[in-house]
Amino acid sequence: MALVTTAEVCDANPQLIGSGELRALHPVFQIYGRRQVFSGPVVTLKVFEDNVLVREFLEEKGNGRVLVVDGGGSLRCAILGGNPVVQAQNNGWAGIIVNGCIRDVDEINGCDIGVRALASHPMKANKKGIGEKHVPVNIAGTRICDGEWIYADTDGILVSKTELSV
């Protein structure tokens, strides 16, 4: 989707929007990382104020995927920091979307990866390893499932049931 914006995708696909096959997340996310435009197949994770499973996922090869983390919208601690983002960049993840907070913003902004989060917070998360992998998550007014596709740019974030041919 390098040359086509999310706005152009929306304009060209009213039928997919009408059917729910193409959805836009509510505009609640801040933009972090050097890669402002990214897309890829979704991997979902649901945690609350715990980042063990986030780190485990990002230690795997990303193969251009986007990790979507439902952190319950918590603003009490960061569930993603600089070290896992560097690892994600090195492992080939396209992006990370966090319904929660991040920290180490300067380090993350130096990485060639796309990151979206609600805010930054200096406190670290718990390390209990509690959460659910590969489950549907509801963030920013939208249900997102494993295997769907994310398209993100500076205009917003789209979720599609299938890869779009743009």
Q: Which residues contribute to the annotated binding site?
A: 81-84, 103-104
| Residue list for the binding site for substrate | 81-84, 103
Helices (H) and strands (E) in the chain, counts: 5, 12
Beta bridge partners of 138: 143
| Separation between Cα atoms, residue 10 and residue 72, nearest integer Å | 27
DSSP 26-52: -S-PEEESS--SEEEEEEEEE-SSB-H
| Residue list for the binding site for Mg(2+) | 104
Check: CB of residue 142 under 8 Å from CB of residue 71.
Answer: no
Q: Are strands 95-102 and 66-70 parallel, antiparallel or unpaired?
A: parallel
- Percent helix, strand, coil in the chain, to 5, is 20, 35, 45
